[in-house]
Amino acid sequence: MEENSKKVLMICTGGTIGMLPKDKNDSLSPLVPASWDRIKDNSPAFDQLSFEVDVDERLRPIDSSDMNPEYWISIAKKIRDDYEKYSGFVILHGTDTMTYTATALSFLLENLDKPVIITGSQLPLAKARNDAAQNLVTALMLAASADGLPTVPEVCILFNNTLLRGNRSRKISSSGFAGFQSPNYRPLAEIGEHIKIDTKIVRKDTAKGFFINEFLDPNVMVFDIFPGISPTILRNVFAIEGLKGVILRTYGTGNAPTNEDFLKEIEFAITKKNLAVVNITQCAQGMVEMGLYDASAQLSRIGVISGVDMTPEAALVKMMFLLGQGYDTTTVKEQMQKDLRGEQSVNVFNFIYERGGTKETVFKLATKQLAAGFVKEKIVTANIRFDAIAVKGGTGAEEKDLQATVFMNYPSADATTSVDIPQCLGVIEKKYDGQSTDYVLECTRKVRQVIDPSRPVQLTVVSRNGKDISWDGAFLSIYTDVDI
Ligand code: ASP
């Protein structure tokens, strides 16, 4: 497109960038949002840009602490209504809830093939010393893909010369100019004298026809666990009327207290109240790895699902979006673990198998169909966890040893010995100490070899010493790479 035929729509929603003191005679009075008209004289001159900018200030300017799902949908509708007329969009927004808005728009705007750049500032445009002017101009340039810049067809946050994927971003400073980071995803561009966009990690333009989703369900909440948390608190939280989903913020790689009373409340919420409970870390960086510690394995046993490396904002708003689609809890849980807009680094496919029998030496666990979108070449890792696996009926030490072979898509009932056939996932050889014990079988390479996306996944456990084996449950989770 010719440079001078490019046009950007700038949508004003408020925030510090456009704020003025409440009392015009008292520069220290609290800041309140003002209309663009009152602040535009402080703005860099748009006529010095190589493209045109239209300003849309039909939305009420707010402090972004007042942001809500209806407002997000209004922004999405504005973009839809003017989508064909503009090369890209800039949204002026307060920093406090900018990451929530960026995430919401990433889900509401479907098949986006134009830049939507959200920006704001820590100091108002109207102040002599500010970070607003530069943020604004750079955001406009990115939205226009000006001066030969590659197009970034994503919802991004531009702040302090950093371009971030919106749904990966977090506000990390309440007043520093470097206010935002995306701790689990590299910045999309380096911005200095030159703007260098890292096109390899920018989402690809899908070009399947842009449209918007118009429904979000706000019946969700984020909840932080803490040492000493009382199960009564949990019970009351889960009893909130209308609540459908909870983002549970846990420690480290997704760990939580292992005491029965705590777990019972969560299990009750999942099994009896049909809530979707998603595990997100309280850490600033890194991901949930359920099963790495017993303290997280217990959560997966009771049906908590992994939010892998999503930010709390992304997990919360994604849940609003999925519930807004009218999905049932099973689908919400399945979709929460799949990357939809670049908000997480891996997809998780979980298969939960119920309690195993005790009277047989060959157990075929129920078959599970692989979800759509599974690509076996993308498998990163997989593990099977057997909870409380034990040998029954043995007396001597040897008889008590666990010896079993685990198969996927087991070929025939009599193949009890071979460990080399492709369907074999691995062998369990474990000294049983008389206590119930858990066993985790890592099977990345094997899973990739044997899995056939067109067939249901069936696990079979074959006892190798003729002893009966039992377990409380088995949990297979397969992690796959996402498309960028
Ligand atoms: N309270 C302001 C807002 O979020 C803060 C800011 O914009 O920096 O609207």
79-90 pLDDT, tens digit each: 999 999 999 999
d(CA 244, ligand 1 centre) in Å: 29
358 is known as an active-site residue: no
97-131 pLDDT, tens digit each: 999 999 999 999 999 999 999 999 999 999 999 99
Distance, CA of 115 to CA of 100 (rounded, Å):
18
Quick one: CA dihedral 385, 379, 376, 210, positive or negative? positive
* Atom number of ligand 1 nearest to Cα 15: 9
Q: Which amino acid is at 86?
A: Y
Please tell me which residue in 13, 16, 151, 480 is annotated as part of the active site: 16
Task: Name residues contacting ligand 1 (CB within 6 A).
Answer: 14-16, 63-65, 94-96, 120, 122
DSSP per-residue string spanning 373-411: T--GGGEEEEEEEEEEEEEES--SHHHHSEEEEEEES--
Q: What is the pLDDT of residue 411?
A: 57
Contacts of 295 (CB under 8 A, 6+ apart): 251, 255, 256, 257, 258
Instruction: Judge whether 44 and 137 are in contact, CB under 8 Å.
Output: yes
- Domains of the chain, each with CATH number or no CATH: 3-212 (3.40.50.1170), 220-341 (3.40.50.40), 352-481 (2.60.120)
Distance, CA of 325 to CA of 268 (rounded, Å):
25
Coil, strand, or helix at residue 287? coil
Q: What is the pLDDT of residue 363?
A: 65
Residues of the chain with pLDDT under 70: 1-4, 205-207, 355-369, 371-372, 392-400, 410-422, 432-436
Tokens of 96: 């406090």
Q: What is the pLDDT of residue 131?
A: 96
Q: What is the pLDDT of residue 286?
A: 96
